[in-house]
Amino acid sequence: MSMLRSIFLRREAGIAVMIVLFCLAVGSVKPQFLTLDQLRIILLLTPLIMIAAMGQMMVIVARHVDLSIGSTLGVSAMMSGMLYRWDATWLGFDVPWWTGIPVSVATGALLGFFNGILIQLFRLPAIIVTLGTLSLYRGLTFILSNAKQIDRQWIPSELKGLSQTSPILGIPWIIFIAFGIALLTHWFLNHTRVGRQIYAIGSNPVAAPLRGIRVTHVTLMVFTISGALAGLAGILYASRWGFVNPSNTGSGFEFQVIAAVVIGGVSINGGVGTVLGTVLGVLLLGCVAAALPLLGIPGTSQAAIYGSVILIALLIDRTVRQQGIVSLKRSRA
């Protein structure tokens, strides 16, 4: 076990080394990449991905995948945007700015729960179900909003302030929220019974129920959490960009999140993955995204880079897994 553990530890160290090497390489060409200002830009690119990646990571650890989070983000952001645009003067008071947060999170949780029901109760593969709900939820966003964008003036300034004002050191609230969620996920996965059960289900779905794990409950919960976190990312999207658009908001987001999670060393075969690795994966993606404009690489190449990064991460995942098996065999021999 200690042998395997050391390999996983090395894995995260590997990502950290990759980040440092990448930053040094870009910094040697463009010295302004290594300034604090640039660090701020990198950090500001990541919070939405990081929050959703925590949910996606749990789903992948449980040996499923959630393709619908981009659309879930869209619906949730749209719900809160509609709430802000809603004329509540007849109530006698304005809708407080923070109400969007529970509304968005609850919407996301509901959509995630719906995914979970379909997957767990009908025993369907998550990839096909969430491919269906990806389209279904996107259509829902259009229907809810009547295909109209929620413009800047409707988003409360306090909400926008979350990604501009800072409690300390000039780092905006939104980054603290993202790291707070990451810490919470770390605690949940490592120090609660249910958290450990997610790993048990992912590493051996046949053995898990035999050990008395309630697979249906846990799986439903994992998908609900993934949806809720996508919902939180939705309201923060409104905060960060100041608008909600039915077709753009969250579209293609799932691929960035899956890329980040897979780079972070979460095994697609389930049962393996850490919060630290995922956070590092997100940061590496952030560094790449921030370096592109500096290096004069057009933004159109971003998708191709994400795609190749997913494939490279898959290759690394496979080599690491094989090494793990070999070293296990050696230690037994």
Give the one residue of 13, 21, 24, 127 binding another protein; rule: CB under 8 A.
127
Binding positions for another protein, 4-63, rule CB under 8 A: none
User: Of residues 129, 208, 233, 284, which one binds another protein by CB under 8 A?
Assistant: 129
User: 220, 330, 193, 208: which is closest to 270 by C-alpha?
Assistant: 208
Should residue 325 be labelled a site residue for another protein when binding is judged by CB under 8 A? no
Using the rule CB under 8 A, give the single segment among 21-29, 51-59, 117-125, 323-331 that binds another protein.
117-125
Answer for which of 3, 24, 29, 128 binds another protein (CB under 8 A) is 128
User: CB-hemisphere CA count at 13 Å for 132?
Assistant: 9
State which residue, 157 or 319, has the beta carbon closest to another protein: 319
Burial degree of 142 (CB within 10 A; 0-12, 13-18, 19+): middle
Q: Which of residues 220-239 bind another protein (CB under 8 A)?
A: none
Distance CA 333, CA 316 (A): 26
Q: Tell me which stretch binds another protein (CB under 8 A): 2-10, 25-33, 81-89, 309-317.
A: 309-317
Q: Tell whether residue 259 is a contact of another protein (CB under 8 A).
A: yes
- The pattern of x and - marking residues 131 through 170 that bind another protein according to CB under 8 A reads xxxxxxxxxxxxx---x-----------------------
**Contact between 255 and another protein (CB under 8 A)?**
yes
Q: Which residues are within 8 A (CB) of 140 and not within 5 positions of it... i.e. 6 or more apart? A: 71, 75
Exposure of 83 in the CB half-sphere (CA atoms within 13 A): 21
Q: Does 329 bind another protein (CB under 8 A)?
A: no
Closer residue to another protein in complex, CB, 85/321: 321
| Rounded CA separation 157/104 (Å) | 17
116 binds another protein (CB under 8 A): no
Give yes or no for a contact between 90 and 70, defined as CB atoms under 8 angstroms apart.
Answer: no
177 vs 244 by CB, closer to another protein: 244
8 Å CB contact between 41 and 175: no
Residues 203-222 that bind another protein (CB under 8 A): 206
Q: Which residue has 């070293």 as its token pair?
A: 327
Nearer to another protein, 30 or 318 (CB): 318
Q: Which of 328, 230, 227 is nearest to 6 (CA)?
A: 328
CB of 130 or CB of 197, closer to another protein: 130
Q: In this chain, which of 96, 122, 330, 333 binds another protein, going by CB under 8 A?
A: 122
Identity of the residue, 214 or 321, whose beta carbon is nearer to another protein in the bound complex: 321
DSSP 205: T
Q: How far is the CB of 116 from another protein (least distance, A)?
A: 13
Amino acid residing at 286: G
H-type helices in 146-204, by residue range? 157-161, 173-191, 193-203
Residue with tokens 């869209």: 74
- Give yes or no for residue 326 binding another protein (CB under 8 A): no
Q: Binding segment for another protein among 2-10, 90-98, 101-109, 261-269 (CB under 8 A)?
A: 261-269
Residue 149: count of CB within 10 angstroms of its CB: 16
CA–CA separation, 274 and 8 (whole Å): 9
Give residues with Cβ within 8 angstroms of 244, minimum separation 6: 74, 77, 78, 80, 81, 145, 149, 150, 155, 237, 238
Residues that bind another protein (CB under 8 A): 65, 67, 118, 122-125, 127-129, 131-143, 147, 206, 246, 255, 258-259, 262, 268-269, 298, 300-308, 310-311, 314-315, 317-318
